[in-house]
Amino acid sequence: MGVPPGRVTSGAWGRALLRLVFVLALPAVLVAVWWAASAGSTNVYWPPLRTVFGVFPDVWTGARLRGDVLPSVLRLAAGYTTAAVAGVALGTVIGSWRRVRALCEPVLEFLRAVPPPVLVPVIMLFAGIGDTMKIAVIASGCVWPVLLNTVEGIRAVDPVLAETARSYGITGVARLRDVVLRSASPQIFAGLRQALSIGIILMVISEMFAASNGLGFTVVQFQRGFAIPDMWTGILLLGLLGFLLSVLFGLAERRVLGWYHGLRESGRRSP
């Protein structure tokens, strides 16, 4: 008798539990090592981990989460979304026409070689020191992996598939949406994943310049005020934020690219 649709089997629960153990095992070991190594520390710059954990609830209260963490997340979301839309749009145009690609390639290689943090003072001159500057800094760094991966994904579209779609009369927006972007979507998501970590780094860097709130601003204030355990809590919170965003991105990726992962799984099982 088959399993009713939507019913989770004991085997699925077992695999999920095993995967959770694998995900949490290494972080648990690292925390244990850190806890043991710092337990007897008298170095003011390297406080015991139990001290860092002890001050965490007092530092990151609800008011500070609303006043510093929420603005950072909103800036990251705005900059990342801007980069994703611009990167996919430009990458589709550049990847679809060989002459455009040949024309743009030297400029793209030049621009992507410029480290995004170097652009912070330049963007400050044009965009001021408000949220626009911070969003622009995040977008300027996140756009490159999305754009370049989109170009490569568009270039790698199977010519037989493209020709078949043309022969069936699939053209225009339908061809772009259902054939070109769908075929390139695994590589586009690879670029989006790279851009996520870059966005978090640039979010912190942009908030270290002329800011009045945000995670980067708060960590620097703790450091300048010699509140070292508080500073460590900010670093831990940044790591937790990155982990949470990575998990959410993975869930979205598996949902959108379910067809792709299904093809790979069937390919591995076939003899």
Model confidence pLDDT, tens digit, residues 40-70: 888 889 999 999 999 999 999 999 999 999 9
Closest CA to 45 of 211, 235, 203, 214: 235
Q: Could you give phi then psi for residue 224, rounded to 5 degrees?
A: -70, -30
The pLDDT score that the predictor gives to residue 186 is: 93
The pLDDT score that the predictor gives to residue 127 is: 82
Residues 232 and 226: their CA atoms lie apart, in Å, by: 11
What is the fold, at CATH topology level, of the domain defined by 61-264? MetI-like fold (1.10.3720)
DSSP state, 171? Answer: -
Closest CA to 228 of 46, 68, 61, 60: 46
Work out the percent of the chain whose per-residue pLDDT is above 90. 51
Residues 52 and 29: their CA atoms lie apart, in Å, by: 17
Closest CA to 73 of 254, 222, 244: 244
Entry pTM? 0.86
- Write out the two tokens for 185: 């979507």
The pLDDT score that the predictor gives to residue 121 is: 84
The pLDDT score that the predictor gives to residue 109 is: 82
Closest CA to 231 of 1, 44, 18, 26: 44
The pLDDT score that the predictor gives to residue 178 is: 87
Residues 152 and 144: their CA atoms lie apart, in Å, by: 12
CB-CB contact of 88 with 188 (8 Å): yes
The pLDDT score that the predictor gives to residue 7 is: 58
The pLDDT score that the predictor gives to residue 257 is: 87
Residues 160 and 38: their CA atoms lie apart, in Å, by: 60
The pLDDT score that the predictor gives to residue 4 is: 58
The pLDDT score that the predictor gives to residue 3 is: 54
- DSSP readout, 60-108? S-HHHIIIIIHHHHHHHHHHHHHHHHHHHHHHHHHHH-HHHHHHHHHHH
With 0-12 CB in 10 A as exposed, 13-18 as middle and 19+ as buried, what is 259?
A: exposed
The pLDDT score that the predictor gives to residue 22 is: 80
CB-CB contact of 148 with 191 (8 Å): yes
Q: CB-based contacts of 162: which residues, under 8 Å, 6+ apart?
A: 175, 179, 180
Q: Per-domain residue ranges for the chain?
A: 61-264
Residues 205 and 138: their CA atoms lie apart, in Å, by: 9
**Can you list the residues of the chain whose pLDDT is less than 50?**
1
